[in-house]
Amino acid sequence: MKRQFRELGWRLLPGGITALVIASLTALEVWRPLEQIAYNTLFQLRGAIAWDRSVVIVGIDDRSLRDLGPFPWSRQQYIQLLSVLTKAEPSVIALNVVLTDQGPQDTRLATAVQQQGRVVLAQAWDGIGGPLLPSPPLGKVAFAVGQVYKKQDSDGLTRKIDLQLQGVPALGLAAVQGYSLVQAPVELPNLQTPFWVNWPGPVRQLQHYSFVDVIHQQISPQAFKDKIVVVGVTAAGLDSLPTPFDRNPPASGTHLHAAVISTLLQHNSLRLPPQPWLLGLFLLGGPGLSYVLSRWSTERQITLGLGLCGIWSIASLLLLHAGYLMPVVLPIILFSTTTGTVLLEERLRENALLQHEVKQLWQAHHQDLVARSHSILRSEQTHWQTGQQPASMQPVAQLALLAKQFGRSQSAQAAIARSLSIGLLAADLDGLVWFCNPMAAKWLEIKVGDRLHAQLIPRWLSQGQWQSDLQMLRQQQPVTPHELHQDGTWFELKLEPLLYGSVEPEIAKQSPHLDGLLLVLEDITARKQIEENLSHQMQELQRMNLLKDDFLSTVSHELRSPMANMKMAIYMLKIAKTQEQEDHYFRILQAECDREINLINDLLDLQRLEAAAKPFNPETIDLNDWLPRLVEPFKERASNRQQSVQVQILSELPLLVSDQPSLERVLAELLNNACKYTPPGGEIKAIAGFNSPYIELSVSNSGSEIPDIELTRIFEKFYRIPRNDRWKQGGTGLGLALVKKLVEHLGGMIQVTSDSEHTTFTISLPTQLSQS
């Protein structure tokens, strides 16, 4: 257990250290410039989305400044603008110009603001935090006052704003609130959290109109009807503000307010992941990723590290489409740095372990090296001493000598293992395969370096069986072999311990320890086939024994019953007093003799048929004439039982060439069974038809159903369906067995179907025994 915890600690340590360092740098905002670059790149890759059509900008652009004079302007320009816009009936006018100084024209401007009714004026703050409010006459008549404070990041972009600052709503928020009063209500986000602006695209795609064109009434009033009109400076060099799509030349603060309004109207503000995500990222991306990487090969580690970086980049872009703003640089740095740290740590551990193992192996086995290896070693030592070979190469040279010696032994062992017809596989206790011969590789579909349990579970062993066997191996107790059936082949799978001594010779002799396992896989199909054949033979012997018992029971009963009846009839015949009584007992005696003879004949016929000793005498049979005559005697018997018998013969039925006595015996037995098991009021049919290439004769009766489970046994000798003889008419169980043998004797086949309505026996005779 301690070893497992120590190994777990080694696997988590690189990622934990990496996560701690990166978290510290994150707290110092080291990655902020990179995140800003990633932010811009994401928006560029996402591309532009449509600005809301309800937002219009009236810009104080370069042409307006050229025609109307330098900025700031007198109140007269805004009075004229409001006069024109009021006639166009916009929903809201947001004036992104701070009108703080009171002047003689404020009264007229206030009147224009009041006449329009929904004008939002701008408020700012000076350098020491004092508010810059609209002049009192304007502030009193304004629909609302909105603050225009914007915080630019180090790269000049404004990515988020406060929708409410010191109790004053942002200019865009105030405009949207006014819009909600006259148009459809707009659901607003949480005003207490920063509002991340979802920049739609280049500002040139926004509806722009020049201030000077509007006051000269060169723009159609329909362009402003029911719109939010944002009025502000857009001229180059004044209130410049770059965006992800506009850096050269940049946009302006007016466009920022338009972007806020568009984002609020479209409900697509950017959302940040919940706060605990950062802790989860450092736990999963640091120690968690370190643990996963430590279990994989170098190639997979590099692939996973690069793959996670790529996946995160793509996911960040897709999430931006969905309205989520995810950090990009921090996870990528965490993933890539963790991967690099794990790779470096593993290389250092591998180097230290290699040196340790080489030293131990050299001390334990260098005495076993052959003379030629010693001469090479002496030559290498000369190189080290004369400086011709770096001393750091000594472990490598020692390892090369050991590898060469071990390679010879391995080659001999591998040649022996490859020649075996059984599968041999060796693995360590973690399931890492380090040897397997061709048979094991073929059957288990495994190779050196694979994990054994990944191939065994669940195809060969269950998880529980595998864990139980490993536990037995660790306790150095014998493991029970498993017999498994795979793809038509039987295998025996055995796990045996691989016990090694320590590399220290003194310790090795005293305390061998479990260092791995040996899997032996053997094809036992031939053995299992012999066992199955023996099992089948035993079952067949048991079945024959039961059949013999049934035969003896049935035959003894069927022979004894007629004999008892004959003895009784003879005795009664002796004491008969009238001729009528004598005739009656003679008839009983005759019937019982016939019954005895029929049983014996049935047994003899079955024996002859099974021995293929019954002769076949073909003759031409006209079924149109023969079948009605055969059925006629059964009609009277059926009539006495209130049953009906019908004969149906296909027109133009070909003549049949067959053994007539055998065929008569078959149909008579089937008709006799139909009469026995058909209830009063039931119907019996004898049908002759032609279904090329067979002539078909069928006998069906109603009111008696044979269960599906019994259909396969009804043709067995002495077999009678349990509880199916409702009228207690008895029988030997030989009739249908004899019928089947006779049909096969005639070269045909018999089938039976049964349901709740009818039971039908159908005989198919091949056409080669017929003629037209």
Confidence of residue 502 (pLDDT cuts 50, 70, 90): very low
d(CA 733, CA 755): 22
Measured between alpha carbons, how far is residue 186 from residues 174, 225, 227 in Å? Answer: 12, 18, 14
Are 759 and 705 in contact, with CB atoms under 8 Å apart?
yes
d(CA 243, CA 218): 30
Please report the pLDDT score of residue 570 as a whole number. Answer: 84
d(CA 119, CA 86): 10
Closest CA to 401 of 419, 377, 418: 377
Whether the pLDDT of residue 731 is over 60: the answer is no
Segment 593-597 mean pLDDT: 71
d(CA 194, CA 159): 10
Average pLDDT, the chain: 80
Which pair of tokens denotes residue 209? Answer: 């109109």
d(CA 579, CA 586): 10
d(CA 150, CA 693): 96
Which tens digit of pLDDT belongs to each residue from 603-641? 666 666 655 656 777 888 888 888 888 888 888 778 888
β 55-60/240-241 pair status: unpaired
- What is the distance of C-alpha 298 from the center of its chain? 28
What the chain holds in terms of domains, given with CATH numbers, is 2-41+274-341 (no CATH), 50-266 (no CATH), 420-523 (3.30.450.20), 531-608 (1.10.287.130), 615-771 (3.30.565.10)
Segment 255-259 mean pLDDT: 91
Please report the pLDDT score of residue 405 as a whole number. Answer: 63
Percent of the chain with pLDDT over 70: 80
Closest CA to 179 of 312, 53, 49, 2: 53
Please report the pLDDT score of residue 507 as a whole number. Answer: 44
Confidence of residue 185 (pLDDT cuts 50, 70, 90): confident
Query: Which residue shows structure tokens 């060469």?
Result: 404
pTM: 0.50
CA angle (29, 35, 41) in 5-degree steps: 170
Segment 126-148 mean pLDDT: 86
Please report the pLDDT score of residue 770 as a whole number. Answer: 42
Please report the pLDDT score of residue 593 as a whole number. Answer: 80
Please report the pLDDT score of residue 16 as a whole number. Answer: 72
Whether the pLDDT of residue 595 is over 50: the answer is yes
Query: Which residue shows structure tokens 């994990």?
Result: 451
- What is the distance of C-alpha 336 from the center of its chain? 30
Closest CA to 494 of 450, 460, 448: 460
Residue-wise DSSP of 141-177: H-SEEEE------TTS---EE-SEETTEEBHHHHHHH
Segment 79-84 mean pLDDT: 89
Which tens digit of pLDDT belongs to each residue from 380-410? 555 545 555 555 556 666 666 666 666 666 6
Query: Which residue shows structure tokens 């396969």?
Result: 712
Q: How many CB atoms neighbour CB 452 within 10 A? A: 23
More confident residue, 704 or 565: 704
Angular region, 572: left φ>0, alpha ψ -120 to 50, beta rest: alpha
Please report the pLDDT score of residue 555 as a whole number. Answer: 61
Q: H-type helices in 420-524, by residue range?
A: 438-444, 452-456, 463-474, 505-510
Q: How many CB atoms neighbour CB 546 within 10 A? A: 11
Residue-wise DSSP of 228-275: EEEEEE-STTSSEE--SS-BTTBEEHHHHHHHHHHHHHHT--BBPPPT
- The neighbouring-strand residues paired with 131 are 125
Which pair of tokens denotes residue 298? Answer: 């170098």
CA dihedral 241, 170, 264, 153 (to 10 degrees): 30
Which tens digit of pLDDT belongs to each residue from 633-684? 888 778 888 888 899 998 778 888 888 888 888 888 888 888 888 888 889 9
Instruction: Name the residue type at position 588.
Output: I
Which tens digit of pLDDT belongs to each residue from 412-471? 666 777 777 788 888 988 888 988 888 888 888 888 889 888 888 888 888 888 888 888
Segment 39-43 mean pLDDT: 86
Instruction: Name the residue type at position 153.
Output: D
d(CA 547, CA 633): 34
Segment 574-584 mean pLDDT: 81
